[in-house]
Structure 1
Amino acid sequence: MELVADTNVAISAILRPGMTRVLVLYPGFRLYAPEHIVTEIDFHRAELVQKSRLEEGAYSDAVRTVLSNIVIAPELGYRAFEDAAIAISPDHDDWAFFAVALQRNCAIWSNEKRLKNQDKVEVYNTEELLEILQIR
């Protein structure tokens, strides 16, 4: 199953070794994200290290593990879908995730309820994915 993982999903998987990380590492998923996810995670590094309560090295390992399981989509590839993505994205800040989803013709994995307020791209939250996989 191909999915576009939003930044909060990636951050959740980095911060805690819970079900979100299990799903990120699940071999049946092929995850994508727009390239700015890397700079966004790096921008919030100090705050995330503090929240994770991990040592710097362990935090870096968690980031590497999570991001190595997400295909980073280059902006050049999804930029062609920008106008369509902006038109359907309930939040302008999330247009790139919708653009990658349109480019890949796949769903988005996000726990933000407002992203479901459109009917062009399927959006699954973590609980729904666990149900699909019959983990819960």
Structure 2
Amino acid sequence: MKFVVDANVLFALSKPSSVANSLFSKFSLKLFAPDFALIELHKYKGELSDKSGVDFNSAIKSIKEKVVFVDKSEYSGLIKEFSSKISDPKDVVYLALASRLNLPIWSNDKHFKEQSLISVFTTEELLELLSS
């Protein structure tokens, strides 16, 4: 299965023992994220290293091996369309990318469910879906 993932899922993927990593490995998921997400990861590099238990460069390398980062030019035409669909303006890019790729979003942020144009799965919902 393929999903667009948000920064929080990317953080989880950096932690070897996370449920997100288990799902990725067990079900051979194909994951995509907007290139903007890399900026978010760099912004919180100390926290990323602390939570993952590995140094920042290793964490980023691991994430890049699991996720295709898509250039903004691929989805920028859809950003305006989605700008009023979600309360967090930073998350509009995830909706735009998901729409462009015609994929659901994997996120644990509740505000993604404020809209109904793009399907959204939490880690718990994804675990349930894939395990059935």
TM-score, length basis structure 2 = 0.89
Q: Partners of 1:31 and 1:80 in 2: how far apart?
A: 21
Q: Which runs of 5+ in 1 are unaligned?
A: none
Per-residue deviation, residues 12-37 of structure 1 (Å, max 9, x unmatched): 12135221112234554221100011
1:95 is aligned to: 92
2:18 is aligned to: 18
Q: Percent of counterpart pairs with the same letter?
A: 28
Q: Partners of 1:37 and 1:10 in 2: how far apart?
A: 8
Q: Partners of 2:22 and 2:67 in 1: how far apart?
A: 13
1:36 is aligned to: 36
Q: CA deviation at 1:93?
A: 1.5
Q: 1:105 aligns with which of 92, 97, 102?
A: 102
Instruction: Provide the secondary structure at the position in 2 that maps to 1:87.
Output: coil
Q: Partners of 1:7 and 1:52 in 2: how far apart?
A: 14
**Residue 12 to residue 105, structure 1, CA distance change in 2 (3 Å):** same
Instruction: Provide the secondary structure at the position in 1 that maps to 2:131.
Output: coil
1:74 and 2:67 correspond: no
Per-residue deviation, residues 105-126 of structure 1 (Å, max 9, x unmatched): 1110000112101111110000
Instruction: Provide the secondary structure at the position in 2 that maps to 1:33.
Output: strand
Instruction: Provide the secondary structure at the position in 2 that maps to 1:4.
Output: strand
- Amino acid in the other structure paired with 2:9: V
TM-score, length basis structure 1 = 0.86
Instruction: Provide the secondary structure at the position in 2 that maps to 1:48.
Output: helix
Instruction: Provide the secondary structure at the position in 2 that maps to 1:15.
Output: coil
* Contact 1:82-1:99 at 8 Å conserved across structures: yes
Count of aligned positions: 132
Q: Which range is displaced more, 82-91 or 5-14?
A: 82-91
RMSD: 1.8
Instruction: Provide the secondary structure at the position in 2 that maps to 1:81.
Output: helix
Q: Which runs of 5+ in 2 are unaligned?
A: none
* Contact 1:25-1:69 at 8 Å conserved across structures: no
